[in-house]
Amino acid sequence: MARYLGVDLAWGEGTSTRPAKETGLVCVDDRGTVVDAGWARGIDAVTEWLIDLAQPGDVIAIDAPLVVTNQTGMRDCERQVGQRYGRWRVSANSTNLGRGWQGGVALRRRLESSGFVYDDGVRAEADVAVRFFECYPYTALVGATEFGYEVERPRYKRPHLGLPSGERQAFRASECDELIRRFAGFGQVAPPINLASHPATRALLDPSPLGSAEYKHREDLLDAAICAWTAALWATTERERCQVLGEGSVADERGRRAVIIAPAREEQRR
């Protein structure tokens, strides 16, 4: 029985005086049951959670830049997010070696040293390995028709600056609640995920809080669940339902390419 793990990674690694921000973590089996879910702080804790849970044949989707070789500017995969999903108001932040956040690279190195295999969607990987890849939840929300976002992404990440200040957090919460309402029906899709099957993800079905700290805590777990579902979609359908952004980029010294594996409609493909 394969399992699919989602990691909404805090990109900063933290310091001795300033702990890393929370990382959301979700593991779902091939029947859609959430077998574990919660939060961790720091690369060590995230690595430990993944090593403890993952078994050969499992697939992990991580929302963080995992391979970064460019000194400046934007990676090809990030540029292609805007090119192919921009119509749905989805774009990506620039990542390069000059940025201070390299938590994803640190996690990749830890996982590879533990025998996990980075999957760039180009090289064939053995099914007996634990595979992991970089994803981006926004591409899943507008690239997978199951979510039903035909025009643009849901605005659940930040308060809407176009609204009066007193209405922004309520709008953000309503967008999040609508997203979760749609996601709650994924127990009946293929691949399935049943948010109600674990106490942590079941709590997502409650109304969203307005306070920033409480909201971010909840959002991290939601994004991790979306990552886990993306891992299941890639593992079960591959390029039938997903595309590999940045697959033509130059590989590093070990043959790894910086890619984002993203659910895609036909009109979002090259």
CB 110 within 8 A of CB 118: no
Please tell me the distance from the alpha carbon of residue 122 to that of residue 230, in angstroms, as a whole number: 17
What is the token pair recorded at 194?
A: 């049943």
Helix/strand number for the chain, H first, E second? 7, 8
Q: According to the model, what pLDDT value does residue 27 have? A: 98
- Phi and psi, residue 22, nearest 5°: -70, 145
The 10s digit of each residue's pLDDT in 129-160 is 899 999 999 999 999 999 999 999 999 997 67
Please tell me the distance from the alpha carbon of residue 110 to that of residue 210, in angstroms, as a whole number: 36
Please tell me the distance from the alpha carbon of residue 259 to that of residue 133, in angstroms, as a whole number: 8
CB 264 within 8 A of CB 242: yes
The 10s digit of each residue's pLDDT in 222-263 is 999 999 999 999 999 999 999 999 999 999 999 999 999 999
pTM for this prediction: 0.96
List the chain domain ranges: 3-153+187-209+220-262
The 10s digit of each residue's pLDDT in 162-191 is 778 778 899 999 999 999 999 999 999 999
CB 36 within 8 A of CB 29: no
CB 77 within 8 A of CB 64: no
- Candidates 83, 76, 170; CA nearest to 120 is 76
Average pLDDT over residues 107-136: 90
Q: Between 18 and 245, where is the model more confident?
A: 245
pLDDT band, residue 16 (cuts 50/70/90): low
